[in-house]
Structure 1
Amino acid sequence: MTTTNIWQKFKALIPEGSRTIVTITANNGNGTSQVQLRDGSVVTVKGESVQVGQKAFIQSGEIKGTAPELAQYEVEV
């Protein structure tokens, strides 16, 4: 008899790892890019599909696509 674990089915719908928005600072020419995080730190990730100066989504150390340029607001509560 097979049982269905609803929690496992639900987890399968959610992608693994967090998605982060970064700014591309350089395409290295070897399949990697330099990106700047919001806190100012710079890291190297896989992929060169987004041009320098644009925002991108990264997940698990890899560029997943271009992120929209949206206004950023900081609110103190």
Structure 2
Amino acid sequence: MLLTNPYRQFLDLVPTRPLQVGEVAAIADGVATLTMPGGGQLQARGSAAVGQRVFVRDGLIEGPAPSLTYVEGEA
């Protein structure tokens, strides 16, 4: 009989590198500087235009993101 660990199965479903959204503030030599919703900045490689909202994961721009209003909630 093989025992499984439900917590380990859950962790396997969660991506190790989160998908984030940022707005492109500047581009220099193929590296974009992104402004994050919390006010921080992040640098990522990929193609985008200044002012565009993009999805970024692990330092790479994955594509355009929709322009939605940022809402933060507490539980």
Is TM > 0.5 for Structure 1 vs Structure 2?
yes
| Counterparts of 2:41 and 2:71, CA distance in 1 | 22
Divergent runs of 4+, >6 A: 11-14
State the Cα distance separating 1:72 from its structure 2 match.
Answer: 3.1
* 1:1-77 matched pairs, under 5 angstroms: 16-30=16-30, 32-45=31-44, 47-74=45-72
Which runs of no fewer than 5 residues in structure 1 stay unpaired? 1-10
State the Cα distance separating 1:55 from its structure 2 match.
Answer: 0.5
TM-score scaled by structure 1? 0.66
* 2:4 counterpart residue number: none
Alignment root-mean-square deviation, CA: 2.7
TM-score scaled by structure 2? 0.67
